[in-house]
Amino acid sequence: MSHMPDRADGPIEIEIRNLGGIESLSTSIPSGVTILAGANATNRTSFLRSVAAALGASDAAISLKTDAESGSVTLSFDGQKATREFSQSGGTVHRRGDPLSDAPPLVDTYVSIFATNPARSTIRNGGTGLREVLMRGVDTDAIDAEIQSLKSEQADLEAQLAEIERAQGRLPDKRERRAELADELAETEETIATVEDTIEAYRASEAEIEAAEEYLSTLEETRNKLRQVEREIEETERTRDTLVEERATLEGELESLSVSADRRADLSDRKGALESEIDALESTIAELSDIISHNQSILEDADALDVLGTDDEVVGQLDPSSSTVRCWTCGSEVDRETIESRIETMEAIRAEKNETLQEKRAERESVAEKLAAIEQNQTERERLKRELRETESAIEAEDRSLSELRDRASGLREEVSDLQEQVSETAELRDSDLPEAYERLNRLQHERGQLETRLERVESELTDLEATADQKETVSADLEQVRADLEAARGRVDRIERELIEEFNEQMADLIDLLGYENLSRVWIERLVDGQTTFEIHVVRDTVAGTVYEDTLSTLSESEREIVGIVVALSGYLVHDVKETVPLVLFDSVEAIDAERLAAMLEYVGQKVPYVLTALLPEQADAIDEQTIQAPAFEP
């Protein structure tokens, strides 16, 4: 699918081979409004439906020529190229290629404005289903998915914000704890200074303890080593405890992500079955479309019969339902009423198949999403298993370190015990307070180290908690944006509905003024919301006396109804930006509109659409001053 310029200048080159009643054709149409003039049975409809096929139509697309094995249509303009190829195999016609649009419903509804166009049919049927026709260009599933994604993101951000606010609520207690620890540390350091002064006094006044200094020095060094090892043991134990908690968390997350293998297999089997059903439905719909198109072509070609004919033909003209149609391929006679009834039956079947197809596609998308979630869970499980293995390896490493450190601590304690015994046995120190002073100093220094560790930990936690102030600002801004996006997404359908109604009402008012239909004051759509949104179309007429009154669609003339249906299609074309991919609109079966009004309507449409192609009978074409190509030669 390609993006088209707002206004194209170059011609569209058209090549058709073995489609409808056309064997081979090469022509071009310029930008602006082009009239395709020709009598009935000159392949005007085949030409228009072939072009529709290249644009991306499905229901409005042409069928393969009955006696051909393959056919194609190609459009080339402004550096763009669109193709549609048809082939027949085993009685089934297959379509492939690269059409201009990959959205057949939009081309069928808003571009191929033929007699069976959904917009025109809806107006002929009193406006039933008007909202559905106008809203075909809206991907409501995508909007719903976006809303669900935004709701999930909103929940995540709200959870983050709540956690940040809880963290900030812990700030006062942490600050108070920091002050308490700082006071304890200051008091301990003051006591250590007093003990050190006492020890220094002993050294300065008692020469008899000099003999024990070597023992005391060794004892102090050994105790320092022991304290260091004990601190390493505490740190290693904390690290191990953290790893054990991480392992428990990983095991819990891994357990929560377990998925039954049978569930995944069932979903995969269901997806495959759905794809087979969808393929079969698409093939059936394509076959039905081809058959319907072919039968419609037979009826259109039959309109080429001369006014004068046999007695049977005269009877057929007086009573069209009793006339017969000759098949131009096999020559047999078939009642027109039989063909028309068959077309109606097949169109109903095709509509039913289309509805089933949409249901199957929706179910397939749901199954695919579930499978994708299972695959994502599997990836997450593999990551968790990998992290679990790494965590268990880390725990084993910490266990080995703990074992080594405890062995070292045990040896150092034995050394301390031996040194204390030696110091105690020293005669010079028997009556001295110096050993007790050293022991007290060691205890105080150990307490100071623990206080410093706790204070560092509290200060680190405080730093993290205080950093949440900036995080809160960012998360709050993100949450506000997501809420705004969610509100916008929820209102997008309402906005599009209002734009469609506004576009229709403005265009309808323009054309009523432009075309000058007698006694017709206004035709407008009202949006009604009562549990479910509906579009109601109103017709307002005026009298010679100047009073106005509301009427119904059924009272409109055929010409007026056709204009209303065309405006419905054109509104969808403009609001849904179909022009961005398909800068061409096709008209057929507009003979009910008189030439003067038709000319004004086409000029109006030509101001909004880069290319307009309209099939008309010669007498109507002669009365309209627009560029014209003649059927069946399809040349200017």
Q: What is the pLDDT of residues 2-24, one digit of tens each?
A: 444 444 568 999 999 999 999 99
The pLDDT of 210-232, averaged and rounded, is: 81
Kind of pairing between the strands at 532-542 and 548-551: antiparallel
CA dihedral 348, 352, 353, 356 (to 10 degrees): 170
Angle between helices 44-55 and 261-302 (to 10 degrees): 160
User: Residue 211 pLDDT > 80, yes or no?
Assistant: no
User: Residue 88 pLDDT > 60, yes or no?
Assistant: yes
DSSP 3-state of 59: coil
Position 201 scores a pLDDT of 67
pLDDT tens digit string along 442-493?
Answer: 888 888 899 899 889 988 888 887 777 778 888 888 889 988 888 887 778 8
Helix%, strand%, coil% for the chain, nearest 5: 65, 15, 20
Position 427 scores a pLDDT of 45
Beta bridge partners of 551: 539
- Reading across the β-sheet that carries 520-530, which strands appear in turn? 520-530, 532-542, 548-551
Question: Phi and psi for 15 in degrees, rounded to 5?
Answer: -130, 125
DSSP 3-state of 588: coil
Number of Cβ within 10 Å of residue 550's Cβ equals 10
Q: Confidence class of residue 394 from pLDDT cuts 50, 70 and 90? A: very high
DSSP 3-state of 582: coil
Q: Say whether the peptide bond before residue 632 is cis (omega within 30 degrees of 0).
A: yes
The pLDDT of 528-540, averaged and rounded, is: 89
Alpha carbon 43 to chain centroid, angstroms: 42
> Measured between alpha carbons, how far is 514 from 276 in angstroms, rounded to an integer?
52
Position 316 scores a pLDDT of 47
CB of 329 within 8 A of CB of 66?
A: yes
Position 425 scores a pLDDT of 65
Closest of 504, 565, 553 to residue 120, by C-alpha: 565
CB of 94 within 8 A of CB of 86?
A: yes
Closest of 630, 636, 486, 576 to residue 44, by C-alpha: 630
pLDDT tens digit string along 562-579?
Answer: 999 999 999 999 999 999
The pLDDT of 390-415, averaged and rounded, is: 91
Q: Is 324 exposed, middle or buried (0-12, 13-18, 19+ CB in 10 A)?
A: middle
Position 116 scores a pLDDT of 93
Number of Cβ within 10 Å of residue 134's Cβ equals 28
CA distances from 472 to 167, 411, 480, 517 (A): 11, 52, 12, 64
Domains and CATH numbers, the chain: 12-137+576-630 (3.40.50.300)
Angle between helices 336-425 and 213-256 (to 10 degrees): 160
User: Residue 259 pLDDT > 70, yes or no?
Assistant: no
**From 136-150, 323-337, 461-475, the region with the lowest mean pLDDT:** 323-337
> Measured between alpha carbons, how far is 107 from 114 in angstroms, rounded to an integer?
11
Task: Work out the percent of the chain whose per-residue pLDDT is above 70.
Answer: 89
Q: 210: which DSSP letter?
A: G
Higher pLDDT pick, 427 / 201 = 201
Position 204 scores a pLDDT of 45
The pLDDT of 327-342, averaged and rounded, is: 72
What letter represents residue 514's amino acid? L
CA distances from 117 to 109, 345, 418, 444, 565 (A): 6, 17, 106, 95, 9
The chain-wide mean pLDDT, for the chain, equals 85
Closest of 294, 295, 282, 296 to residue 350, by C-alpha: 282
The pLDDT of 132-145, averaged and rounded, is: 83
Angle at 332 between CA 284 and CA 347, to 5 degrees: 25
User: Residue 424 pLDDT > 80, yes or no?
Assistant: no
The pLDDT of 427-452, averaged and rounded, is: 74
Closest of 497, 485, 491, 524 to residue 508, by C-alpha: 524
The pLDDT of 195-219, averaged and rounded, is: 66
Position 148 scores a pLDDT of 87
Closest of 528, 438, 43, 426 to residue 208, by C-alpha: 426
Angle at 194 between CA 188 and CA 200, to 5 degrees: 135
Position 433 scores a pLDDT of 65
Position 126 scores a pLDDT of 92
Question: Phi and psi for 586 in degrees, rounded to 5?
Answer: -115, 135
User: Residue 26 pLDDT > 90, yes or no?
Assistant: yes
H-type helices in 331-433, by residue range? 336-425
The pLDDT of 296-319, averaged and rounded, is: 55
> Measured between alpha carbons, how far is 362 from 219 in angstroms, rounded to an integer?
81
User: Residue 349 pLDDT > 70, yes or no?
Assistant: yes
Position 205 scores a pLDDT of 45
